[in-house]
Structure 1
Amino acid sequence: THYSNLKVAAQKHKGLINGAMLFDSKEMKPLYKLQIGNPGSSFAFEIAKNIGFPTHVLNRAKQKSGGKHVSFDQQLQQLEIDKIVVDKKEKELESKDVQLSEMIEKYSNLLGDVKRNKKQIIEKARQEAYEIVADSNKAIENTIKEIKEVKADKSRTKDIRKKLIEKKDSIKNKLGSTKVTEPKQDSLENINSPITIGDYVKIKNTDIIGELINIEGKDAMVDVNDVKLKTTLAKLVKTNQQPNYKSTFRSRRNRQNIMSEINEKAANFSLTVDLRGKRAEEALSILQKYVDEAILLSMHDISILHGKGDGILRPLIRDYLKTIEEIKDFGDAPLDMGGAGITKVHFH
């Protein structure tokens, strides 16, 4: 039925259930698929507009049908959009849940290995310490005994003390010397100097360190163990830390690991970020990290779900997007994909 009161009645009364024939509102054609559980929209005004009905006729029809009917129809359309978003989130959640279970199992195994190794190391150190202390006590007792036997003969006492010192040095060698190397502090003078080709740089909000190999205007190319990453100078921080690539084999393995990590991030990257209900500062912080990651992974487009609400987030988000040079354009999503409640972003 296209009669709204019947749709409402089916929702309120037991024994009745709504159904809807699915419709492609973008192409303006029926899909001939039945969906049970929710009422559908008739898309009457959209279809009429699409086939060329005069605007004044449509406006008159909306007035005749009443604001409640139009509002109800729009709510049905929004409900369908929300359902699509929820279904997508549900699939993403299932995937993340599987990954989380695998990670928990992996780290549980690693933790078990660490505990076992820790116990063995402590036991070995305890035994070695016991042997060293026992050896030391024995040496001291023998020294005291010899001094008493020679009755404080100066030359003999001197020889005995020399032996004790030699024994002390021997014990020191057994204990070994542990040098604590303090981490090098980045020179403020070096860090604050302009970034130039050949400098080691770190990409903001990541642990990626590489060598800057090219600069074109505000764009930059970073070599991370033979993997070329394109980004902007604004996202780079100069550092004195250097990546440790010691051998060809290890370099190849590191490069494979980096590419594997990038591919995994790209595969698990969600093309939609939901900022609804977030405070302005929190939403902007989440958006900055999300856009940076999208650029790093060379995504072509993303969607930002902010809702219509009272319009606080929408202008804040768009003002920020205007500052990103990698963005080609952005605007409202199509009506059937969320309309003004979602901002669609396209990258160069």
Structure 2
Amino acid sequence: TVYVEPEAILGESNRLREIEGEEREEVERVLKELSSAIGEHADEILAGLDAVADIDAHIAMAKSANDRSAATPRIREGHFLTVVEGHHPLLDRETSVPLTVSVGGSSGSLLITGPNTGGKTVTLKLLGLYALLLGCGAHPPAERVEYGAFTGVFADIGDEQSVEQSLSTFSGHLKNIARMLRDAREGALVLLDEVGAGTDPAEGSALARAVLDTLLDAGVVIAATTHYGELKEFAQQSGRIRPAAMEFDVETLRPTYRLIPGASGQSHALEIAQRFGIPDEVLRRAEGAMGDEVRERKRRDQEMDQALLDARRAREEAERTKAEVMEERKALQQERRELQEKYARLRERLQEEVEAAIRDAREAYRQLLEQTKHQSGGSADPVRTDALHEAKRVVERLQETETLLAPVDEPPEAFEVGVSVRIRGTGRVGEVQSIKGNEAVVLIAGKRFTVPLSRLETAAAPPTQGKPSSASASIARRRAETINPELVIRKMRAELALEALEEYLDDVVLAGIESVRIVHGRGDGVLRRLVRECLAARKDVKEFHDAPSSSGGDGVTVVHFGS
């Protein structure tokens, strides 16, 4: 195809090319100016980019930790790693079996044995990944993690064979081990999978033991796996490295992926081969080819594994039982608290009802007294006298009920008949007449009261100290509010006046009132003498005297209470 530019547009085409060239030059000029302006702030821009990258990384780690319900690690001194109920970061936490493992520190190094496909390699990878994640500030997926930073992490896991580099499986392992022996220093974490494998078992196990001894001498923390019986015996006898085994369920012929500290697990090669379909004839020939010594060692290992399995199951059952007991205990404590609250509300309501009944009965009793004191000479009205006695008995029964409802803050003491006791919170002192069950009959000022033992304390001890309960203070306050500080018995018969006086004095003492006035009048002096004799016989009366002449003189007796 030949294109011939028409002569008519030749000039315009040339002009177009010139304009395009000018455009390119202008673009290059603008870009250079912008680049130069930006270049002046290159350090700030790069620092900002690094800061944004750090923030993005931390946000990503926080989101990952939140999504995986990761644990906040506890950082301690030393070189160790403890993982409780941990999961491999690449495995689904909902389906993977949690792993509990500890290396370094007081736990020392670890030699893991057990069956193929049992989880040994995953355990090593979990330890390495957790150490690196923690070193980066990430939170690993586990219930609890404690960490003391390692000085380095070295791993020989997997097959390093390479045709291009002329490396076999064994030589690939040796290359990694040589680097560990050269670079690992004290406090480093070294992970060795199938240490010494890939060559003659006798030479491989001897080499592996020498490598472990050398690394341990250097203060390195080791987590290694093996199938070699010689290394198992080395871990059990030397005390320099702790044995552990991946659990294998001999009943189901399947691994449980649980690490059992202190165990020296078998490889269970024949059992696993059977599960993967190897014919029974082949397995019988293999078992027959094993020597007596190997079979005896396998039998001992099976017995040990079974004992450890039984012990773990017993511990888990004990932990489940303990958890159930704790739950039941919490439920009972909650039920007890609810019952106590319900009882307190009921007691308060009953207390209010009893106090209301006492006020009503006392008011009715005083109205009868007022009516009686105006009665002229002659014998008293039997009906009115009986009503007075009945009203007084009602008041006494209500007051006893009120005492029973008072709250109890301390356990009861042990009392004997004849000892002096004090009713808590009242200051009233009396003598124990008899004890039946949780109650005692106490003689106070010539009267017998039935009082719960929990409401009593020995009179030899000082009165109960401390702030009284709110319920007790409320009871005393309401009593004080309802009692008149003055009792008028003028013109009353001696018998009725004495009953009214004793009742009034009991109420005053229970209410905690410090002083009152007894208006008895002058008259022939009988009531005055009766009042003085009654006051002198009471231990709760501190002193009494005539009122000032301006307030009644010898027609009024002022009484002060106290010990």
Q: TM-score range by the shorter chain?
A: 0.3 to 0.5
Structure with the greater alpha carbon radius of gyration = 2
Return the TM-score normalized by structure 1.
Answer: 0.34
